[in-house]
Structure 1
Amino acid sequence: MASVTDTSNLDGLRDRLLRFVADRQWEPYHTPKNLAMALAGEVGELLAELQWLTPEESVAVVTADPEAAARIRSELADVTNYLVHLAAALDVDLVANAHRKLDEVEVRYPPGA
């Protein structure tokens, strides 16, 4: 298992994911379409952890229920991994793209609007 020294580095995560896939020769199966479908499935699994909670329970679940918190963290990791891998497959810089989108949204929804 690789050690992680910088947990805030998306490039490092992307590189580790791509090595993981290459080491197992899974590249033929990791097309953008397949990765997007897998991402949707993982988002569904995350939603399943939260869907029947009240808004208040959904805010508190990670501190109130350690077992649910572990499941939610696991699903968030799956979502993150598939999203990072999908972006790599499409040659999209996730951070730059997210900033561009936020720029658009800030114009569309200015403060006080």
Structure 2
Amino acid sequence: MLPKDLVDELMQFRAERDWQQFHTPRNLAISLSLEAGEVLELFQWEDRQGEALESVMPRLRDEVADVAVYLTYLCTDLGIDLEAAIREKMLKNRAKYPVALSKGSAKKYTEL
């Protein structure tokens, strides 16, 4: 999903620091979850919109980037083609959530 040159840059950054030894699938999954939690933390006590959202955008951009980096490491290490995985998931989602039943609804597919 990310451009190959950016993925290569991330992998080189990690290799130069010899961090791949710490990046087991378990550790990457934990780190991914923790970084996603930091995204969530920015909205913990306030439904940020407008100026309130703008005030946290620099940190939000950093946290979203951290999520993307850990996801990229995990997918690369496990041989997951992220674009293909997303496309496959979208096929499943289209079947689970047909427009006629789900448009404008936040219900889970089991409730449709």
TM over 0.5, shorter chain? yes
Among 9, 12, 24, the residue aligned to 2:17: 24
What secondary structure does 1:112 align onto? helix
- After TM superposition, the score normalised by the length of structure 2 is 0.81
Residue matched to 2:86: 98
What secondary structure does 1:19 align onto? helix
Identity %: 36
Structure 1 residue ranges, 4+ long, deviating more than 4 angstroms after superposition: none
Residue matched to 2:39: 46
Residue matched to 1:3: none
Root-mean-square deviation (Å): 1.5
Among 27, 34, 45, the residue aligned to 2:27: 34
TM-aligned CA deviation for residue 53 of structure 1: 1.6
Structure 1 residue runs without a partner (length 5+):
1-7
Is residue 78 from structure 1 mapped to residue 66 from structure 2 by the alignment?
yes
Q: Matched residue pairs, number?
A: 100
Structure 2 residue runs without a partner (length 5+):
102-112
- After TM superposition, the score normalised by the length of structure 1 is 0.81
